[in-house]
């Protein structure tokens, strides 16, 4: 194990009752790296992210984040350093809270002063006009909501962002805007990303390395270059790659 990894996962196992959903999974993510996790539904990719975020407490194995062994129940300092953006911007924002409420809450929890300036700054960073500050989620489009969700994650100035299918609920033109925003923020702030997605093109665009999962196991870890060269080693990764290229009529 390299001691300076941002995230190091060793022999992670997760079970829900009788179903063993993550099996002996190990991987490491370097600081400033963007690491992709791909797989089909039920492969365990989102579960891994939820364990890293501290949302799932029933797991065994070792998880080190920013050089610290993580207990099942995380402390406040952890949440300042690690934040998550969820898939569905229609479900992840409180419908009765304005953008301002949503962004002020994490600051209040962590006792951070100067909320006023921090909120305007966070909104500016994600490209939301300040006039949107007192709007409710239903007054925003899908892309704007996802920007609010990203702003909520960034307002605490974390070093690691966990992204669970951040653009799969969005139209392609909006997806491009959100992906560009995430790329720019990462370079600006030297953030570390773990991006979970079923879309290989998105992962190839955003990440340097990726892990292919199937039935709870890591099938293959490869670089984005290997992915672009269509040269994965395992049959499953190859199959996934072929399937993502569209329909082929035989004969």
Partner 1 sequence: MSDQALLTLDDLRVDFHTPTGIVNAVRGLSFTLGRERLGIVGESGSGKSMTGRAILDLIPHPGVVTAKRMGFRGQNLTTMDKRARRKLRGRHISMVMQDPKFSLNPVQTVGDQIAEAYRVHHRASAREAKERSLSMLEAVQIREPARVYDLYPHEVSGGMGQRVMIAMMLIAEPEILIADEPTSALDVTVQLQVLKILDDLVTSRGMGLIFISHDLHLVKSFCDRVIVMYGGKAMETLPASELDKAQHPYTRGLLGCLPDLDHPREKLATLNRDPAWLA
Catalog residues that contact partner 1 under the rule CB under 8 A: 40-41, 142, 171-173, 175-177, 179-180, 183, 198-202, 204-206, 224, 227-228, 230, 239-240, 243-249
Identify which of residues 19 and 41 has a Cβ nearer to partner 1 in the complex.
41
Is-contact 153 182, C-beta < 8 A? no
- The encoded tokens of residue 144 equal 């704007």
| Nearest residue (CB) to partner 1, 4 versus 244 | 244
Residue 1 or residue 250: which is nearer to partner 1 going by CB? 250
CB of 174 to partner 1, least distance (A): 8
C-alpha 240/C-alpha 174 separation (Å) is 25
The distance of closest approach from Cβ of residue 134 to partner 1 in the complex, given in angstroms and rounded to an integer, is 21
Q: How far apart are CA 17 and CA 73, in angstroms?
A: 20
What is the smallest separation between the CB atom of 228 and partner 1, expressed in angstroms? 5
- Whose Cβ is closer to partner 1: residue 1's or residue 172's? 172
- Rounded to the nearest 5°, which phi and psi values hold at 73? -105, 120
Q: How far is the CB of 10 from partner 1 (least distance, A)?
A: 29
Determine contact, residues 118/109, Cβ cutoff 8 Å: no
The contacts of residue 41 (CB under 8 Å, 6+ apart) are 198
Query: Which CB sits closer to partner 1, 38 or 99?
Result: 38
Give the largest Cα separation in the chain, rounded. Answer: 66
Q: Which is nearer to partner 1, 26 or 183 (CB)?
A: 183
Q: How far is the CB of 179 from partner 1 (least distance, A)?
A: 6
Q: Considering the complex, what minimum distance in angstroms separates the CB of residue 71 from partner 1?
A: 34
Residues 178 and 170 sit within 8 Å (Cβ to Cβ): yes
- Please name which of 158, 169, 197 lies closest in space to residue 54, comparing C-alpha atoms: 158
CB of 20 to partner 1, least distance (A): 19
Closest-CA residue to 15 (of 235, 232, 229, 216): 216
Helix segments in the chain, DSSP class H? 45-52, 76-81, 99-109, 115-125, 142-154, 172-189, 200-206, 224-228, 235-243
Of 55 and 243, CB closest to partner 1: 243
């Amino acid at each position: 194990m390299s001691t300076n990894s941002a995230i190091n996962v060793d022999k992670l196992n997760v079970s829900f009752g009788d179903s063993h959903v993550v099996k002996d999974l190990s991987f490491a993510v370097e600081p400033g790296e963007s690491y992709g996790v791909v797989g089909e539904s039920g492969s365990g990719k989102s579960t891994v992210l939820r364990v890293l975020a501290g949302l799932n407490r029933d797991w065994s194995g070792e998880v080190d984040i920013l050089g610290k062994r993580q207990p099942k129940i995380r402390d406040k300092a952890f949440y300042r350093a690690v934040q998550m953006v969820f898939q569905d911007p229609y479900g992840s924002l409180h419908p009765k809270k304005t953008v301002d409420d949503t962004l002020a809450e994490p600051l209040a929890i962590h006792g951070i002063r100067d909320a006023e300036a921090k909120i305007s700054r966070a909104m500016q960073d994600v490209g939301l006009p300040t006039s949107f500050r007192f709007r409710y989620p239903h007054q925003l489009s899908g892309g704007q909501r996802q920007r609010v969700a990203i702003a909520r994650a960034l307002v605490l100035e974390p070093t690691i962002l966990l992204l669970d299918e951040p653009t799969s609920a969005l139209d392609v033109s909006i997806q491009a805007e959100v992906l560009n925003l995430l790329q720019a923020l990462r370079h600006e702030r030297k953030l570390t990303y773990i991006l979970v997605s079923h879309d290989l093109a998105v992962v190839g665009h955003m990440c340097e390395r990726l892990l292919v999962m199937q039935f709870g196991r890591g099938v293959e870890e490869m670089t984005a270059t290997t992915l672009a060269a269509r040269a994965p080693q395992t049959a499953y990764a190859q199959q996934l790659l072929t399937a993502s290229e569209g329909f082929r009529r035989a004969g």
